[in-house]
Amino acid sequence: MDDIIQILSWTGFPGLIDRMSVKRTADEELMESILWGTSEEEISGLLSSISDLIAVIDEERNYRAVSKGYASFFGNTRDELIGRSIDDLHDDTSFFKRVRSGLHSTLVNEQVRFHIWEPDATGDIRYLDCTLTPFPGASAPTRNAIVVARDMTDLTFAQASLAYERKLLQMVINAIPDFIFIKNAEGVYQYCNQAFEKFVSLPEERIVGSSDQDLMSPRSAAYIREQDRKTLEKGEACRIDEWVTYNDGHRRLLDMYKFPIRNDAGQIDGLVGIGRDVTTERLAAERMQQAALVFETTSDCCFILSPEGQVLSANRSAHQAFDYTEEQMAGARLDQLISDVDETHAFSDFLLQQESWRGELIGRDRQGGQWPYIGTLNAVMNAQRQVSSFVLTLTDISEQKELEQELVQKACKDPLTGLPNRLLMRARMEHAIQKAQRNRNLLATVFIDLDGFKAVNDSCGHELGDALLQQIGHRLSQHVRKVDTLARLGGDEFLLLIDDLPDMDTVNIIVDKLLASFETEFRVRDQEVHLSASFGVSFYPTDGMDVDDLVNKADLAMYQAKRTGRNRCCLYHLHVGQNQKL
């Protein structure tokens, strides 16, 4: 019972009864008219069969008459109460406190009314609607009061339950994210939920009683009214999309479901509208369609990958570039398709740890062909900030690479002989020195200078001299190993880098072949030209530790070869270094 009372208190009782303005029934009014001018004996007899709580109390607070229901409610008989004082019979309960306090006002012709929770004889708590009304006796001027208490418990509980259900229903309706409204047949709003209030940025009291003309642009209002008219005329539910411009100036696309309301006679009184703003969803769907179109038509290779790096889907360009059918591509692993420039498959594992990445990589087609790409990888996150997929885009840079290679060739190759120039030779020597330090290997630098070339160039002309240099570069290249580098430094000077030397004696074998190559004359434009060359050699790490030191010492050894007769080779540590020490 306490729980019920708490619910009633929460739902607004007992104030709800006051707001309901419970009216006295016709039976009550009839009873008062009967009692008025009736003797006490007649009243007592009349009350003996009435189940409502009725009592006549005189100014001495004695019972003059009581109904059967009154005596039964308090656990007495009528005979136990009539003629006895309420002060002697009853405890000081809330009901009798109110009766005692109200008697004085009633006996001076003032009606007193109150509502109260009171336990009956069995202990059940009942809700009573009580009225104390002045009532003069028929045979004497004694002033009396009639107490009429109606048991409103069942009605109160029913109303409380109804109010509770209504409140729950209102809470549910307001929790629905879709907006809901009710209009009458004239298009005037009768009700709306909180979602609709938020949508139109107005409170319910501003919406109820308004029409669409008050809430939106005239054009939109006319359009909505026409849609409502169709629903009312058809007399059945319908679902439509409605573009509406509201007073805030924003245009919205509404997914609306409307159905008519019928009264007990089956006539249509209005309609219910349930809708949602689908503007963002539809725009997102359009963007998805546009993205799908771009995905399929772009010339770049596009892949959708699982978090584990398996291909979920790929566009037409990817299928063509990698020579995979759609069935073959589905489920392919990322490390089957790409690697980095060092061709290490661990690169694909690195990519799958990134949220965003851009860089150069190598793609492998199904036939094993390798192609350079600029790759862009972006992770797609779900609501929990976890990777749900990856989007990988590959842009073919083969033409760009070819152009770069051409530019590198021009920048790093001698334009006359096609041999590496001084810049490229320095880069390769630095790399070779680093590798020799790591592997503790020897390497040699051979400085080559032609003997007597200036005289030939001056006497025969620069064109013949250039042609001669081209032949010399070609002949020297035929006698060096593939792992070695031969460069033209300029004029008639060449430099040879001999890498991965097992020992110093190997240099002598290579140099002897180069010296022997000059024994055969050169034929340039029907002219025979005899030339020789002087060679100087320095070794890493015995003669020098860096590029400049090794080249300078090879140059010194070459000049020593010229001073001692030309057409020969001098080693720095034997022919120059020893002399410097002396």
Does the pLDDT of residue 251 top 50, yes or no? Answer: yes
Q: State pLDDT tens for residues 279-314.
A: 777 777 666 676 666 667 788 888 888 898 888 888
pLDDT at residue 10, rounded to an integer: 33
Mean of the pLDDT values across residues 335-350? 71
pLDDT band at 37 (very low <50, low <70, confident <90, very high): low
Q: What are the tokens at 127? A: 């809700």
pLDDT, residue 15, reads 38
CA angle 185, 188, 193 (to 5 degrees): 110
Closest CA to 522 of 454, 473, 458, 462: 473
CATH fold match for the domains 23-151 and 312-400: yes
Residue with the larger pLDDT of the pair 32 and 430 = 430
Q: For residue 9, what pLDDT is reported?
A: 33
Ranking 88-92, 187-191, 316-320, 539-543 by mean pLDDT, the lowest is 88-92
> CB burial class (10 A; 0-12, 13-18, 19+) of residue 261?
middle
Q: Crossing angle for the helix pair 40-47 and 26-35, nearest 10 degrees?
A: 150
Region 550-559: mean pLDDT is 95
> What's the CA gap between 187 and 189, in Å, rounded?
6
pLDDT tens digit string along 136-146? 654 445 678 88
pLDDT attached to residue 283: 73
Domain 176-281 in CATH 3.30.450.20: yes
> CA 522 to CA 349: how far, in whole Å?
58
Chain segment 436-478, per-residue pLDDT in tens: 998 888 999 999 999 989 888 888 888 888 999 999 999 999 9
Task: Indicate if the pLDDT at residue 25 is higher than 70.
Answer: no
How many degrees, rounded to 5, is the angle at CA 254 between CA 251 and CA 260? 135
Greater model confidence, 518 or 321: 518
Q: What is the average per-residue pLDDT within 381-394?
A: 86
pLDDT of 38 reads 56
pLDDT tens sequence across 64-114: 889 998 989 988 988 889 989 888 888 778 888 888 888 877 777 788 888
**Contact between 217 and 245 (Cβ < 8 Å):** yes
Domain 23-151 in CATH 3.30.360.10? The answer is no
Mean pLDDT in the chain? 83
Question: Which residue in the block uniquely carries the two structure tokens 């739902």?
Answer: 11
Give pLDDT, residue 3.
Answer: 34
Q: Tokens 């290249």 label which residue?
A: 477
For 312-400, which CATH superfamily applies? PAS domain (3.30.450.20)
Work out the pLDDT band at 5, boundaries 50, 70, 90: very low
Residues 6+ apart with CB under 8 A from 363: 301, 321, 322, 337, 338, 370, 371, 372, 373, 394
CATH class for domain 413-581?
A: alpha beta
88-92, 427-431, 488-492, range with the lowest pLDDT:
88-92
- Which of 9-23, 376-390, 557-571 is least confident? 9-23
Domain map (residue ranges) of the chain: 23-151, 176-281, 312-400, 413-581
